Structure 1
């Protein structure tokens, strides 16, 4: 048997992997919702210059100790019961222009999860995106702005476990002044950002804003 100090750690648990993943996330989130909804339009400039920031809490109290982060496992389902959302999840990659893809417009009920970032329940700030609407009607995140603080977001994983996040707050940001540090910055605990289009819609320029849900991990099962 190989002594424990000489055993190779799995590639996804090495410090080098975490650093590379963080750097990649910083680049691709420049266009994290560049094609969201029927109108398009980018959300901010990405967290490429983001410094450490505090955890998001709606009540301003002392943060409760979070559950132990889960190991890496791809997401399979996304549920917000208070909004009637029970959706399958599709992984999102970078296209040839190094921009993050969005869920297929012809399957508007899918939620996209950036697979280069944290998986459900994993340490770090995970990102999920989805369409508000398409040319055929409302899409999966049509009512996202109405989710209330404290409501659970349940994300199923391929390993059979579920990461449960609680909503801290919902913000609507103008795309011209998108606060990259606030949305994408590290928080010291497993968190989730759910993003879709919002604001006013113009056929020429698309939506003017983005809806961002801030949530943090409160349970695993």
Structure 2
């Protein structure tokens, strides 16, 4: 099994207990009975010295951000940038590097600190829209949106989002739907699925 497939497999396994924890602390989907939180000491802004994506740009919605690398926290959820910096996007470093085979995961807040977040307008994307990713090796990649889904967080489609694929793909994830004031969290996730164009 090559390195890319190993990374994708690891991402899929961790996804059983990992989900976006931003957007005012989104709850994780119900884990499998045997799943346990995956300990990690990787802070949200820890530099990543290997090949990585460095920025994301989505022209249609005017979204542009550098990318910090994130992993899984002690609660078994994907770490995200602070809601006090809602315009900062992140790459889940246990998923493939964008442009490599498999689903690369990029996360962003819909809002935070009483301001719109980097993915505030993510729900407005449609098939054919462009998502640009720059990498640390100088490559500039263009992905095109295939489709978008909005799903309740307790029905998060882990296999579809994190499962292995045979080609380079991209997933953009944020929160959406109704805001639950009691839980201080949105009830849904918005997931954009995109394929490598160039």
1:111 match:
89
Q: 1:22 aligns with which of 8, 12, 21?
A: 8
Tell me if structure 2 keeps the 8 A contact 1:153–1:165: yes
Range with bigger deviation, 94-103 or 158-167: 94-103
Is 2:15 the counterpart of 1:36? no
1:40-119 paired onto structure 2 within 5 Å: 40-42=26-28, 45=31, 73-119=51-97
C-alpha deviation, 1:208, in angstroms: 1.1
What do the CA deviations read for 1:23-45 (whole angstroms, capped 9, x no partner)? Answer: 42123323220x22125222565
**Long gaps (5+) in structure 1:** 1-14, 50-71
Tell me which residue corresponds to 1:156.
134
The range that moved more, 194-203 or 129-138, is 129-138
Aligned to 2:154, what secondary structure does the other structure show?
helix
- 3-state SS of the aligned residue for 2:160? helix
Question: What CA distance in whole angstroms lies between the structure 2 residues aligned with 1:213 and 1:25?
Answer: 18
| 1:110-142, Cα deviation, whole Å (9 max, x unpaired) | 111011211121111111111111132111111
Contact 1:39-1:203 within 8 A present in 2 as well: no
SS in 1 for 2:79: coil
SS of equivalent to 2:24? coil
Asked whether the equivalents of residues 51 and 135 of structure 2 are also in contact (C-alpha less than 8 Å), the reply is: yes
**Rg larger in structure:** 1
SS of equivalent residue, structure 2 residue 145: strand
Matched, 1:215 2:177: no
**1:78-99 residue CA offsets vs partner (Å, 9 max, x unmatched):** 0000100111111002223443
For normalisation by structure 1, the TM-score amounts to: 0.74
Structure 2, gaps ≥5 residues long? 36-49
Give the TM-score normalised by the residue count of structure 2: 0.82
- What's the counterpart of residue 6 of structure 1? none
Aligned to 2:106: 128
SS at match of 1:213: strand
Secondary structure of the structure 1 residue equivalent to 2:14: helix
Say whether 1:203 aligns with 2:190: no
Runs of 4 or more off by more than 4 Å in structure 1? 43-46
